[in-house]
Amino acid sequence: MDTTPSKVAGPTARARRGNRGFTLIEVLVVVAIIALL
């Protein structure tokens, strides 16, 4: 289902989806915003 790197698709993906249902795309967006700041 998720086509993402292994290091990100590990506990992070399941934890995010289990807690708030965040997708890896949203996580990458947040990281990108932080990087721009």
The sign of the dihedral angle between the CA atoms of 12, 17, 20, 24 is positive
pLDDT of residue 21: 59
Pick from 15, 23, 21: nearest CA to 31: 23
pLDDT of residue 27: 83
Confidence of residue 35 (pLDDT cuts 50, 70, 90): very high
- Encoded tokens for 13: 């993906």
Pick from 26, 24, 33, 32: nearest CA to 3: 24
Q: Which amino acid is at 4?
A: T
Asked whether the predicted pLDDT for residue 37 surpasses 70, the reply is yes
Each residue's pLDDT tens digit, 22-33? 677 888 888 999
